[in-house]
Structure 1
Amino acid sequence: MPNAVQSSTRRTCEACLLAAGLLALPLAGGPALADLPATAAQMKRSVVAVGTYMAVRQTQKQPRGTGFVVAPNHVVTNAHVVPRKLDEGRRETVAVYRPGADNRTEMRPAKLVAADREHDLALLRFEGGSLPAVTLGRTADIREGQWAAFTGYPLLGALGLYSATHRAVVAALAPIAAPVGSGRELTPEMIKRLSAPFKILQLDATAYPGNSGSPVYDVDSGRVIGVINSVYVKRTRESAIKDPSGISYAIPVDHVRALMSKAGLR
């Protein structure tokens, strides 16, 4: 009975490999280890573009960045993606966009619910049916060296609503206020940050302007651990180190939780 012998031998070998830690099993309650394609596909359902809409404008739809659904009809993005002042006379509104059927763009009007300017975060409520919400992680669980990914719309002007996923390592959890050589190098914004510093995630991947507001998530579990932010953070840190390539920053997820709590969301 060669088949029975082979089957028994195979089971014995697998048991040996498991004992030696050389045969990995999928994590319970989540996708298989490092199954980024499956995790990214799930995340894409919750990612939207954020911008404005004006019926009388030559280009009616103007997406400016990325956002992601955190609760029924609620999206988180960077505060700098949402204009502080809208042209009410011309009926300009905040809007979220997502790919629709037949290569059309689906637009949904939205309103600003709450903002955290200190951490450059905004919470929007959009009209229409609900979209799948992400699962939020906790900053305390983030580890330097862990694999992460972010999904968003990096080049909205050139590529349109075609999301892209980038893989990265969490290189560091570092203070937002970078050290300087002398007081003459300090800017007003840097002084403000020094008075109330907080940690940011440093990622070894390149984010583009349209990625502002993109969710950063753990590759294995899909839990969101941060929000991509390039403009806000770079104004503070990159004055000391001149635009390094391949480095991006993200606001830790606990600040998202605080903003949602402020708005009465769980």
Structure 2
Amino acid sequence: MQRFRVLFLIFGACLIFAATSIRAEPLPGTVLKIKPSIVGIGTFMPTRSPQNLFLGTGFVVANGQYIVTNAHVVAKPLESGKLEKWAIYVTQNNKPKLAYVDKIVVDEVHDIAILKLLKGRLPALKLTTRQVREGKLYAFTGYPIGMILGLYPVTHRGIVSAISPVAIPAYNSTKLDSNLIGRLRDPFHVYQLDATAYPGNSGSPLYDVETAEVVGVINKVFVKESKENVLSKPSGITYAIPIEHVKKLLISKGLY
């Protein structure tokens, strides 16, 4: 009888451990859901060498025709005389593919841009309706160093370490410019992460590791210029724009 009790306790402990392990590791399955919706953002010019210019990351939303990225990622003027076009790069069946897009709307205040596929559709990500919590684990997937090592989306994870205003007051007037003054007058909150992102991650989706719902857009330029104007040396902190601003932009154009 004693031996039976010991075996029963061991078996029960194994079941509890297995269940805990399953609950504790949702990220691998979530990454599989996320990756088909991740695209590289850039331009294609037939007379240029190389023909493809990588600028950042984006992700597919709404009906599968629309792509979200940062406004600063697609800020460059196209050299239309040289047939330069906006393009996205995606991996399908383990092969890189190019598709042309148009830039249809830009929100410079929140550094968001919406692109539209000229042909076809891609799997779209769901935008969250849940509140983001400090201390909760999230992840982001994108192309941190562009296409140098191939078109392979890379995933990082970290907690939201703070939710704070996009701009902080400068300690002297020489640090103020028109953009910063505007953000101070009408500030919005951003997510600060304890994970490291790289320039190519700009435009990557920040998502809930359990639900795969997008909660924000990784931003490596716009936010740092606002929040870190008081620092002589920029930090390695990563920020994200809340997804509510993307939803409002899509809704305002009848796209969501």
Same fold (TM over 0.5): yes
Instruction: Give 1:227-246 correspondences, 5 Å limit.
Output: 227-241=217-231, 242-245=233-236
Structure 2 unaligned residues grouped into runs of 5+ = none
Look up the match of 1:118. Answer: 109
Percent identity between the two aligned chains: 43
One-letter amino acid matched to 2:104? V
Look up the match of 2:46. Answer: 55
Aligned mate of 1:66, from 41, 57, 60: 57
CA distance in 2 between partners of 1:222 and 1:122 (Å) = 21
Aligned mate of 1:154, from 144, 148, 166: 144
Deviation of the 1:13 alpha carbon: 4.6
User: Which portions of structure 1, spanning 4 or more consecutive aligned residues, are displaced by more than 2 angstroms?
Assistant: 8-14, 23-26, 157-160, 179-189
CA distance in 2 between partners of 1:54 and 1:206 (Å) = 32
Instruction: Give 1:188-199 correspondences, 5 Å limit.
Output: 188-199=178-189
CA distance in 2 between partners of 1:34 and 1:12 (Å) = 21
Moved more, 235-244 or 167-176: 235-244
CA shift digits 1:68-95 (9 cap, x unpaired): 0002211000111113421111211111
Contact 2:169 / 2:184 at 8 angstroms: preserved in 1?
A: no
Deviation of the 1:194 alpha carbon: 0.5
CA shift digits 1:94-126 (9 cap, x unpaired): 11111245x643110100121111111011111
Look up the match of 1:80. Answer: 72
Look up the match of 2:167. Answer: 177
- Say which SS state the counterpart of residue 159 (structure 1) adopts: coil
Deviation of the 1:187 alpha carbon: 3.0
Instruction: Give 1:131-142 correspondences, 5 Å limit.
Output: 131-138=122-129, 141-142=131-132
- Say which SS state the counterpart of residue 141 (structure 1) adopts: coil
TM-score with structure 1 length normalisation? 0.85
CA RMSD of aligned residues (A): 2.8
CA distance in 2 between partners of 1:166 and 1:63 (Å) = 20
One-letter amino acid matched to 2:82? R
One-letter amino acid matched to 2:131? D
Look up the match of 1:90. Answer: 82
Look up the match of 2:210. Answer: 220
Whether 1:167 and 2:157 are equivalent positions in the alignment is yes
- Say which SS state the counterpart of residue 100 (structure 2) adopts: strand
CA distance in 2 between partners of 1:168 and 1:48 (Å) = 21
